[in-house]
Amino acid sequence: MVDVLGGRRLLTPGGAWVEAEAALQNKVVALYFAAVGCALSRDFTPLLCDFYADLVEQARRPAPLAVVLVSTDGSAQEMHDFLRLLPGSWLALPFHDPYRHELRTRYRITATPKLVILKPSGEVITDRGRKQIRERGRACFQSWVEAADVFQNFSG
């Protein structure tokens, strides 16, 4: 579980609440800083969704990657509209949680979209997840798993 999200409750696209510790255990975690109103986010999100779907297809359950949306939207409604477009197993930090702003500061987010890949300790594997996915596709995930030192249930 990613320590930086310890004790937090996360939201599913369906509106359910989950405990971060349970949902993120033994996974590479991708913090996805994005907004529905951002053209670059709208461009990259389908690619990230396809990347995630490919990984899920290649893995025994549970999926080896957890994506957590850290919305940079201007309103809770915009965030919920965006969340409804995402895969059902993705999670989000609630819009009204001030921790969203702390994470933006901690990971020096100045533009979106940004995909920060984390070890379970919260240490950054890469803050260039978006670029790596665009350039290397699914192949970049293997290096993330190795760097994260998590149990590997990914076959490709």
Q: What pLDDT, in 10s, does the model give residues 107-128?
A: 999 999 999 999 877 889 999 9
pTM: 0.90
CA dist list (Å): 143 to 68, 70, 98, 149? 20, 23, 32, 10
- What is the tens place of the pLDDT at every residue in 25-82? 888 999 999 999 999 999 999 999 999 998 887 766 666 889 999 999 999 999 999 9
**Longest distance between any two alpha carbons in the chain, whole Å:** 39
**What distance in Å separates the CA atoms of residue 7 and residue 34, rounded to the nearest whole number?**
23
